[in-house]
A and B are shown apart, each in its own frame.
Chain A
């Protein structure tokens, strides 16, 4: 393939004609890339081979090809100018000048009303959104209440229906007369259901129900409320399951209740 350090003309012409196998063509290209003399000869060989183009039957392309080409370059040129213009403009005029131009342009007559309309629509949507959110919150509260009531009813039913539920009557104790109460307790479930008829209390006081276990300190079973007169209303309370009750009691405590009884007993019943 080589004559000394250079490639033979025969090989160069075969290469220019495209007649060399790929492996040989690659080797030749690698040599030509680093050899100026062979590069010059291969350029001549390409020129000689290109003469064969004149052996082809001469035809003219359709006129639409040139029209499409010119349209293509025009579009390319416009696109380049469009992208180049803002950079040139900014460089020449400065950003402040651009801002001033923007403010005074006729676009403002379109953009300002459009912005106002957009603000109004945005406000209306925001107000409607708040209204819907409020409604959703109310609905959520109602749903939670219904769920809570249903859970209370289920506890009530389970306690009332259970065979091992005990019933304890509460009698007045101390200075409160004509007070009474009733407790149904299921120690296995750890659920109490109770009701009471009690006189009204001052606004800063509450009645608090207690389970007094066989062992240990009294366990709070909830606040009956400051107004008393709870007949017809049932409360439920959960206490630790399997707690053996010795007695149930109601005391008068500060509003909100306390951890351990501090006030006078008004109702008491032994389990």
Chain B
């Protein structure tokens, strides 16, 4: 699935991005094929709306097309940036609907794992699902409320009826378990 160069080596995200900066449509097409499923699935999980998720997906890749030259490899992972940016936009849509607003820094994401091939993505998908399946319900719920619902720890505490300290502990413990995926 990974785009192959003339030498048969896989094309890195940053190589694709450099070509996109030169207005190479094939490079954008390859990058889209690489990450559109992940980005769309994440946005749809948050929004629960196919059309709205597709809109975010298209807008995000259009932004990549227009501003590719501004992305700095030193700031981290392009895949990580796409996922964080998609989440922020989806959460912002939800919060606008409820009258809230959020200023978010979409730059600088260190993913810490290679997801430039679909094989690597599938492997990571399995690992994350396994970790999430192994988490106690309270920890999993706290993570999902924060990441997919855009709820603050206070709101999670109110929703679950747990003390704020308990919610923080659950989130910290769940994050520690999740980070083991990266090791």
> Is A2 at the interface (CB under 8 A from chain B)?
no
Does B76 lie within 8 Å of A10, measured CB to CB?
Answer: no
> Is B163 at the interface (CB under 8 A from chain A)?
no
Most chain A C-beta atoms within 10 Å of own C-beta, residue among B29, B75, B76, B146 = B146
Residue from the list A39, A57, A66, A77 in contact with B29, Cβ < 8 A: A66
> Is B119 at the interface (CB under 8 A from chain A)?
no
Tell me how many residues of A have a C-beta within 8 Å of chain B. Answer: 44
A68 to B181, CA, bound (A): 36
Does A56 lie within 8 Å of B168, measured CB to CB?
Answer: no
A91 to B90, CA, bound (A): 45
Does B83 lie within 8 Å of A50, measured CB to CB?
Answer: yes
Tell me how many residues of B have a C-beta within 8 Å of chain A. Answer: 67
**Neighbouring B residues of A26 by C-beta, 8 Å:** 103
Does B66 lie within 8 Å of A18, measured CB to CB?
Answer: no
Most chain A C-beta atoms within 10 Å of own C-beta, residue among B42, B57, B150 = B42
Nearest Cβ distance between residue B36 and chain A, in whole angstroms? 6
A56 to B45, CA, bound (A): 6
Does B41 lie within 8 Å of A56, measured CB to CB?
Answer: yes
Nearest Cβ distance between residue A258 and chain B, in whole angstroms? 89
Binding-face segment, A41-49, A194-202, A236-244: A41-49
Does A17 lie within 8 Å of B147, measured CB to CB?
Answer: yes
A203 to B10, CA, bound (A): 114
A62-86 near B? 1/0 per residue, CB < 8 Å = 1001101110111011000000000
Does B62 lie within 8 Å of A44, measured CB to CB?
Answer: no
Most chain B C-beta atoms within 10 Å of own C-beta, residue among A10, A21, A44 = A44
**Neighbouring B residues of A55 by C-beta, 8 Å:** 128-129, 132, 144
Does A47 lie within 8 Å of B58, measured CB to CB?
Answer: no
User: A50-B84, A59-B44, A66-B32 are known contacts; what are 9 more A-B pairs with Cβ within 8 Å?
Assistant: A21-B153, A43-B75, A48-B175, A53-B86, A54-B125, A55-B129, A56-B42, A56-B148, A72-B62
A binding-site residues for B, Cβ under 8 Å: 10, 13-14, 17-22, 26, 29, 32, 39-40, 42-44, 46-62, 65-66, 68-70, 72-74, 76-77
12 CB-based A-B contacts, threshold 8 Å: A13-B171, A14-B146, A17-B143, A18-B102, A47-B77, A47-B109, A47-B110, A50-B80, A51-B178, A53-B42, A76-B65, A77-B25
